[in-house]
Amino acid sequence: MTDREELLDLLYGSVLSGDVDSAVAVTQEGLGVDVEPTVLLFDAMIPALEEVGRRFETGEVFLPEMLIAANAMQGAMTILRPLIVAAGVETVGRFVMGTVAGDIHDVGKNLCNVMLEGAGFEVIDLGINVPAEAFVEAIREKEPDVVGMSAFLTTTAIEFARNIELIAEVGLRDQVKILIGGAPVDQALVDSAGADGFAPDASSAVRVAKSVMGLA
Amino acid sequence: MSMTPRERVLAAIRHGEPDRVPIVLGVSNATGIKMKPYRELKRLLGIEAPDEYLYLWPELGTAAIDEETLVQLGSDVRGVWDLEPASVLEANTTRPPHADYINSWGSGATEIRPGEWFPMVCPMKSATTTKEIEDYPWPDMDDPTRVAHVAKEAARLAAEDRYAIMATPWLLFPLERAFAMQGMDTFLMNLALHPEFAEALLWKLEELCKTLMGHFLATLGEHVDIIKIGDDLGTQESLLMSPAMYRSILKPIHADYIAFIRERTSAKVFFHTDGDVFPLIDDLAEMGVDILNPIQTSAGKMADLQELKARWGDRLTFCGAIDTHRVLPAGTPDEVRAEVRRVIEIMGPGGGYMVSSVHTVMNDVPAQNILAMVDAVREFGTYPIAAGDAA
């Protein structure tokens, strides 16, 4: 095994086991010996995150392990992100994400962000308690391909429909695909809110996003 | 044969068939009603009663339901609960409008929209060492003002001897407390990254819970039938943590806590745990849980009521199972009645089931649907109950 392969293996293992210190150190080491940022991302970190997602879906790992893997990836991404942007690497698409107004739950949303960024999306996170107007403004300014809205409560899931109505009212509905997610979300809610789809968990968010964009 | 509500509850918990399936509504934040539907209920029922809050805590938003409404709802339990220390209640009553609500633990809630409070103040967010646990200014669980009111209320209910007395101290749950202190995602990560710290924090929190629980139970004496504890262990689709992690870290703490309670009271242990907790039900039964709540039918395998009844119906009493995900907020009164009937016909035969909403009735539930739920219990919950087609 070459040094480069060993290094990618180590980075893969660091993300998989959620060791953020190691993920950052190995990333820096890799850059120091001229491994391209995209290689570190696409050949080590994303496969690791995909593996964590697979294990999550099959019930081999649970939220703690998924969260620490995402955290390790985020740690390394703070170093890689500016380099990848500077290199002008083309993104899969632009994704605006936010937890709806009246809701502050963001564990699932943040995991989705990491998975999406790992899959090559540019993610713009509007945060929590995001009013409908802020989604509209972000669509105007950032021109995303997909907007993701998250809600944890049945009492705040009603915001999906309100947001989508406002986006339609101002004439922006045809410009974006809209995905919803969170504990109360199912296909019936997608239909009643007028969204384009939903992801039951973070690991399937990428698949669904690509699918509504016609990429998969 | 007509029974008193208390006889009805006790018969069901003993896995016998009472006159009708008991109703557990009000009383706690897991079986309660939020203020908006409570106001609407009072209006529909023509009841005039003040808008009071459970735990004297407006930011929680759960109503302390007046006696007349409880009677109209047919609720078979009455509650006793602790309070934050008088000094903390006073400090929060007199704080500037819209300022964060902070409790005696140092955690608290922020108002994100007018009247909507979320638990976002997490004082141990960055802690990862046992030294930080040692150094934290933990609350005084011996403060007598926490339980000063309890003895009189419990004695009154006991003298009345009409309703089952359910003790619902606020969140004396180690995992939920850890989430409050650190934030849920942070603490879940610490369980994986810093297990020694996470475990030490849970044991510390359990010690504090036990101290107050000890005072609470001593004050209640014999005047208690059900004691509510819990910890949310499930998500919409599976468990919050692996069964192995639960069994190695949290289960010994839960076991110790339940043993502590059982040493001090003959009251039945009511364990509230949201989400799909199917893989841990054997563990809960083994530790001495008597009543499992809320049977979140919208979450994974918890939808399989037949399986729950068949596997654990002889050991556990189920309380809950009336869906708050879709049926209660979005269903018609007829759909609510049909769902209550369906659940009762599966869970009711042989006793061991008490009707309640899956978690507190939230602000999106029409009061008509709450009334439809309890009317359906009166209509379809009278024993003997024939197992329906669904069963």
Which residue has 């190995």 as its token pair? Answer: A26
A123 and A17 together in one domain: no
d(CA A61, CA A51): 10
| Range list of H helices, chain B | 5-13, 35-45, 67-73, 86-93, 130-135, 150-160, 174-182, 184-193, 195-220, 243-245, 251-264, 281-287, 305-312, 327-330, 333-347, 367-380
In a domain, B68, yes or no: yes
CB contact under 8 A, B242 and A61: yes
d(CA B289, CA B267): 11
Residues B178/B187, Cβ–Cβ less than 8 Å: yes
Q: Are strands B116-121 and B353-357 parallel, antiparallel or unpaired?
A: unpaired
- Residues of chain B contacting residue A154, judged by C-beta atoms under 8 Å apart: 324-326, 329, 362, 364
- Residues of chain B contacting residue A188, judged by C-beta atoms under 8 Å apart: 326
Residues B18/B3, Cβ–Cβ less than 8 Å: yes
Residues A74/A115, Cβ–Cβ less than 8 Å: no
Residues B250/B287, Cβ–Cβ less than 8 Å: no
d(CA B161, CA B154): 10
Q: Does A131 touch chain B (CB under 8 A)?
A: no
Last residue of a domain, one of A86, A114, A139: A86
Q: Does A25 touch chain B (CB under 8 A)?
A: no
A75 and A119 together in one domain: no
pLDDT score for B388: 64
Angle at B146 between CA B142 and CA B150, to 5 degrees: 120
Residues written for chain A: 216
CB contact under 8 A, B112 and A104: yes
A59 and A166 together in one domain: no
Best of A14, A65, A105 to disrupt the B interface (most B CBs within 10 Å) is A65
Q: Residue A49: which CATH number?
A: 1.10.1240.10
User: How does pLDDT run across A1-48, given as a tens digit for each residue?
Assistant: 678 999 999 999 999 999 999 999 999 999 999 999 989 998 999 899
Percent of chain B with pLDDT over 90: 96
Average the pLDDT over A128-141 and give the result: 97
Average the pLDDT over B157-165 and give the result: 97
Average the pLDDT over B324-351 and give the result: 97
Q: Is B263 helix (H, G, I), strand (E, B) or coil?
A: helix
Best of A52, A61, A62, A158 to disrupt the B interface (most B CBs within 10 Å) is A62
Last residue of a domain, one of A51, A86, A121: A86
A30 and A54 together in one domain: yes
d(CA B251, CA B242): 12
- Residues of chain B contacting residue A62, judged by C-beta atoms under 8 Å apart: 238-242, 245
Total Cβ atoms within 10 A of residue A12? 20
User: How does pLDDT run across B236-278, given as a tens digit for each residue?
Assistant: 888 999 999 999 999 999 999 999 999 999 999 999 999 999 9
User: How does pLDDT run across B85-129, given as a tens digit for each residue?
Assistant: 999 999 999 999 999 999 999 999 999 999 999 999 999 999 999
Nearest to B143 by CA among B84, B94, B91: B84
Q: Does B115 touch chain A (CB under 8 A)?
A: no
CB contact under 8 A, A201 and B237: yes
Range of the domain at B59: 1-80+294-391
How far apart are the CA of A106 and the nearest CA of chain B, in angstroms?
Answer: 9
Residue B390's pLDDT band (cuts 50, 70, 90): very low
Last residue of a domain, one of A41, A70, A86: A86
Range of the domain at A48: 3-86
In a domain, B345, yes or no: yes
CB contact under 8 A, A62 and B245: yes
Q: Are strands B108-113 and B101-102 parallel, antiparallel or unpaired?
A: antiparallel
Percent of chain A with pLDDT over 90: 78
Residues A51/A16, Cβ–Cβ less than 8 Å: yes
Residues B269/B291, Cβ–Cβ less than 8 Å: yes
A110 and A57 together in one domain: no
Q: Does B87 touch chain A (CB under 8 A)?
A: no
Which residue has 């003895």 as its token pair? Answer: B151
Total Cβ atoms within 10 A of residue A187? 10
A71 and A135 together in one domain: no
Q: Does A183 touch chain B (CB under 8 A)?
A: yes
Which residue has 């943040």 as its token pair? Answer: A110
d(CA B389, CA B391): 5
| Pick from A203-207, B43-47, B308-312: least confident | A203-207
How many domains would you assign to chain A?
A: 2
Whether omega before B50 lies within 30 degrees of 0, making that bond cis, reads no
Q: Does B301 touch chain A (CB under 8 A)?
A: no
Q: Does B189 touch chain A (CB under 8 A)?
A: yes
Residue A85's pLDDT band (cuts 50, 70, 90): confident
A197 and A133 together in one domain: yes
Q: Report ipTM (2 d.p.).
A: 0.92
Q: Does B242 touch chain A (CB under 8 A)?
A: yes
d(CA B239, CA A210): 28
DSSP assignment letter at B266: -
Please give the radius of gyration of chain B, using alpha carbons only, rounded to the nearest integer. 20
A98 and A189 together in one domain: yes
Which residue has 């200014």 as its token pair? Answer: B137
CB contact under 8 A, B192 and A184: no
- Specify the amino acid at residue B130: T
The pair of structure tokens assigned to A130 is 């995001």
Nearest to A112 by CA among A199, A185, A12, A177: A199
